[in-house]
Structure formats: structure tokens, C-alpha cells
């Protein structure tokens, strides 16, 4: 329980160290990535091996975090995030869920590779029911590099996870002094420390400044719950990237794949998630096999407008609205854990409107 210095001074007649009583408890769940990477020399800022440094070393490298909160670490995984499958994703969500259910834990930080960091953050916002701050953090340079960005990112992530202001606002991504909402953030630069973008808030000198709320359902308001998801796989959903001069062969390959269980395809189309004329018959064929077609866009900004350019009502397609293809993939997979009839495009669309 938090107590104020004033209250202690009055009741005990002496001053006890503020830090002992006023700090929140934050657990850092380490999963690997560059923030735990190691390079051959200090000038190797981009050439290194991810997922090497154990969680205790990460915490000990930033002793200042103990002034912000009582910080402990858990090594959940030690992987590069491009290798995260449903198994690891579900394991991370279960570990975070287990921690936020503990009364003594006030906030959780997840250290993560930046490649799929936005996907894990969004998944946590959909499946973990809590109002405690959850902060996913990474770095673009390994700890061994000159001007490594991981230590300050970790410091700021702990500050955010420990902040009472951050309660009830969903899952955050913290990178490079910026606070992002899990649903909105995406990696937009693959080589610089300002790798992520969206506009949501800032973390300066250990203090969060939040400017926006999320308009969609998340965490406690989510109909999905990690506690109701069994096993270590999600329903299979795959992405096909759109371009000019497209052949239907990739979709045909997924038709074969569909026999192994794929229930939805995210079409990362050109422009407004457009579908080339010659592709439509293949998508219709996939739908007959029970595969949902969800239109998203390869364009990073804007959103896919339903029935604009493409007759979604006629074809019974779903639009992903402003979710990028990789986040649409996760939402579709979660929707399919609930929506038994994979042909129920209306129910799938309802979910895409709401999350
Ligand atoms: N590809 C690695 C990963 O996602 C390193 C990228 C990073 O963490 O920045 O874990």
C-alpha cells in the first residue's frame, strides 16, 4: 500500500525514507530483441545478435529505475521478435495476465524486439483484462553500442508503468521519449532510434504527458480474454500483399493452406485495400471454402472505407478499417476464436468496427 511521507512523518514522528513506502511495484518481463542484444564492438549499432543479455543484467545496467519503482525481472523468453509465433505470443499474454492479477503488482513492462512489438502490444490490449499500466518497450541499438537507446527507454518505460496517471489507459509502447497507444503505433523506420510513430504522448525526465484517449475497446472492455484462450495456437490467418500485375497464385497457395486450417486472409491491398479484377474469382473460391476475406491496405495512413471502390456488401468481404495488415491479422484470429461460423462476415465486421 502506498503511504505518503507526510502521513508517516505525522504518525511516527520521524521521517522514513520516502522511497521505501511510496514506490509502486513494477515487473519487467523480458522477451529478447535488440534491447537485449550484443554486438562485436561499440560501433556495431546495427550489426549484432538480438536476444543475448539476461533480464537481471538489463535491470542492473539502469540502477536509476529502482528510484522510480520497486522493479523486479522475469525472463519469459529470449528471442528475436520476428520468430515469435502464437505459442510465444500466448505465453507472453498469460505471463502478463498472471502478473497484473497480483495485488502487489502495480505495472508491467515487457522488453521486446521492435520488429513485431506493435503486434504483441495490440494483442495484450485485446486480451488482458486490467486497468494497470502495461508498457511494451524495445530499442534500436544493442546495449553494447555507442549511445545505446535501451537504457533510457527502459527507464522511461518503468516510469510510465509506475505512473498513477497511466492507469486505465490501455497498453502503451514506449520508445525514444514517445508514448504510443498499442492500437495506433507502427514501426515506420527500420534503422533509426525514432523507429515508431503516432501521436499520443511524451515521456520527459521520468514524467508522462498524455494527450489522447483510445476510441476503441481495449483491456477491461474487450470481449476477448487470454484466460479463455486454450492451447498454444490461434486460428490461422495469413496476409497477402497487394501490387500491380498481381497473380492469383499466392491466394491459390493459401487455398491449399486453408485445408490445414486457415480461416481468413488479410488482403493488404493497394490504395483503399483494392482488389484487382483478376483476383476476385480466386477470393470468391476461397470464401466457398470457408475463408474470410478482410481488406486492409498497404498504405500506412488513412483507412479502408467499406463499399468504396470495392463492393464489400455484394462480395461479403470485411474491411479492416484503419488497422494495419499485421494487426488486422491478430484481430481476425481472435475473432475466429469466438466466431464459430467463419463465413459470418457481418460478425467479423462488427468486431473490426469495435476494436
Ligand atoms: N529483429 C530483432 C527483433 O525484432 C531485432 C530488432 C529490434 O529489436 O529492434 O527482435
Q: Tell me what pLDDT residue 185 has.
A: 94
pTM score of the predicted model: 0.84
Task: Tell me the mean pLDDT in the region 296-306.
Answer: 93
The C-alpha cell that represents 137 in the structure block: 518497450
Q: Is the pLDDT of residue 296 over 50?
A: yes
Per the rule left: phi > 0, alpha: psi between -120 and 50, beta: everything else, 176 is left
- Give the pLDDT of residue 4: 36
Atom number in ligand 1 closest to CA 139: 9
First and final C-alpha spacing in the chain: 34
% residues pLDDT > 90 (the chain)? 81
| pLDDT tens sequence across 205-226 | 999 988 888 889 999 999 999 9
Residue 55 Cβ inside 6 Å of ligand 1? The answer reads no
**Overall CATH class of domain 235-354:** alpha beta
Q: Is the CB of 115 under 6 A from ligand 1?
A: yes
What's the count of helices (H) and strands (E) in the chain, helices before strands? 12, 14
The burial of 46, by beta-carbon neighbours within 10 Å (0-12 exposed, 13-18 middle, 19 or more buried), is given as middle
- Annotation marks residue 47 as catalytic: no
Q: Domain-by-domain residue ranges, the chain?
A: 18-221, 235-354
Averaged over 173-190, what is the pLDDT? 94
Q: How many angstroms is it from 115 CA to the middle of ligand 1? A: 5
Which of 249, 309, 306, 250 has the alpha carbon at shortest distance from 275? 309
235-354: same fold as 18-221? Answer: yes
Q: What is the pLDDT of residue 341?
A: 58
> Could you report the per-residue pLDDT of 75-87, keeping only the tens digit for each?
999 999 999 999 9
d(CA 187, CA 181): 13
Q: What is the pLDDT of residue 289?
A: 86
Q: In Å, what is the CA distance from 297 to each residue of 187, 245, 280, 323?
A: 16, 17, 16, 9
The pick from 30, 31, 36, 37 for probing ligand 1's pocket by mutation, whose C-beta has the most ligand atoms within 8 angstroms, reads 37
β-pairing verdict for 201-204 and 178-181: antiparallel
pLDDT digits (tens, 9 = 90+) for 226-248: 999 999 999 999 999 999 999 99
Q: Is 144 in the pocket of ligand 1 (CB under 6 A)?
A: no
CA angle, 268 then 274 then 276, to 5°: 105
Would you place residue 252 in the very low, low, confident or very high pLDDT band (cuts 50, 70, 90)? confident
Q: Which fold has domain 18-221?
A: Rossmann fold (3.40.50)
Question: How would DSSP label each residue in 95-140?
Answer: HHHHHHTSTT--EEEEE--SSSHHHHHHHHHHH---SS-EEEE--S
Does the beta carbon of 310 sit less than 6 angstroms from any atom of ligand 1? no
Catalytic residue among 31, 34, 116, 127: 34
- Centre of ligand 1 from the C-alpha of residue 94, in Å: 22
For residues 6-29, average pLDDT: 59
What is the model's pLDDT at position 334?
96
**pLDDT for 15:** 44
Angstrom distances, CA of residue 260 to CA of 126, 254, 257, 338: 26, 9, 5, 19
Q: Which residue has the higher pLDDT, 301 or 315?
A: 315
Q: Is the pLDDT of residue 146 over 80?
A: yes
137 lines ligand 1 (CB under 6 A): no
Distance 345 CA to ligand 1 centre (A): 35
Provide the pLDDT for residue 45: 94
> Among 32, 47, 53, 80, which is best to mutate for testing ligand 1, by the most ligand atoms less than 8 A from CB?
80
Is residue 140 within 6 Å of ligand 1 at its C-beta? yes
Strands (E), the chain: 24-32, 69-79, 107-111, 134-137, 171-175, 178-181, 186-187, 196-197, 201-204, 207-210, 236-241, 262-269, 292-297, 318-319
Answer yes or no: are the C-beta atoms of 148 and 142 closer than 8 Å: yes
From the CB of 50, is ligand 1 less than 6 Å away? Answer: yes
* C-alpha to C-alpha distance for 59 and 95, rounded to whole angstroms: 19
State residue 342's pLDDT score.
52
Tallying the residues shown for the chain, one arrives at 355
Task: Give the ligand 1 atom nearest the CA of 115.
Answer: 4
Amino acid at each position: 500500500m502506498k503511504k505518503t511521507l507526510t502521513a508517516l512523518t505525522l504518525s511516527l514522528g520521524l521521517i522514513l525514507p520516502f522511497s521505501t513506502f511510496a514506490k509502486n511495484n513494477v515487473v519487467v518481463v523480458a522477451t529478447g530483441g535488440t534491447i537485449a542484444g550484443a554486438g562485436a564492438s561499440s560501433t556495431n549499432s546495427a550489426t549484432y545478435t538480438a536476444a543475448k543479455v539476461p533480464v537481471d543484467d538489463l535491470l542492473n545496467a539502469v540502477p536509476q529505475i529502482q528510484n522510480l519503482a520497486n522493479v523486479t525481472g522475469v525472463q519469459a523468453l529470449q528471442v528475436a521478435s520476428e520468430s515469435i509465433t502464437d505459442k510465444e505470443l500466448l505465453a507472453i499474454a498469460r505471463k502478463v495476465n498472471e502478473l497484473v492479477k497480483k495485488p502487489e503488482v502495480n505495472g508491467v513492462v515487457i522488453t521486446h524486439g521492435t520488429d513485431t512489438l506493435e503486434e504483441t502490444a495490440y494483442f495484450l490490449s485485446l486480451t488482458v483484462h486490467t486497468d494497470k499500466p502495461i508498457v511494451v518497450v524495445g530499442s534500436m541499438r544493442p546495449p553494447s553500442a555507442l549511445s545505446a537507446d535501451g537504457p533510457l527507454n527502459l527507464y522511461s518505460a518503468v516510469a510510465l508503468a509506475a505512473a498513477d496517471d497511466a492507469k486505465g489507459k490501455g497498453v502503451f509502447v514506449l520508445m525514444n521519449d514517445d508514448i504510443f497507444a498499442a492500437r495506433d503505433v507502427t514501426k515506420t523506420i527500420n534503422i533509426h532510434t525514432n523507429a515508431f510513430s503516432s501521436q499520443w504522448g511524451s515521456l520527459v525526465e521520468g514524467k508522462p504527458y498524455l494527450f489522447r484517449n483510445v476510441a476503441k475497446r481495449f483491456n477491461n472492455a474487450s470481449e476477448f480474454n487470454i484466460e479463455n484462450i486454450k492451447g498454444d495456437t490461434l486460428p490461422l490467418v495469413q496476409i497477402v500483399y497487394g501490387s500491380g500485375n498481381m497473380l492469383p497464385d499466392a491466394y491459390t497457395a493459401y487455398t491449399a493452406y486453408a485445408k490445414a486450417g486457415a480461416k481468413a486472409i488479410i488482403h493488404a491491398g493497394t490504395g483503399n485495400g483494392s482488389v484487382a479484377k483478376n483476383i476476385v474469382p480466386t477470393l470468391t473460391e476461397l470464401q466457398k471454402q470457408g475463408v474470410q476475406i478482410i481488406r486492409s491496405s498497404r498504405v500506412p495512413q488513412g483507412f479502408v472505407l467499406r463499399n468504396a471502390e470495392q463492393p464489400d456488401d455484394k462480395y461479403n468481404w470485411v474491411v479492416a478499417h484503419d488497422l494495419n495488415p499485421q494487426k488486422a491479422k491478430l484481430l481476425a484470429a481472435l475473432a475466429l476464436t469466438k466466431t464459430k461460423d467463419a463465413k459470418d462476415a457481418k460478425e467479423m465486421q462488427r468486431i473490426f468496427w469495435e476494436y
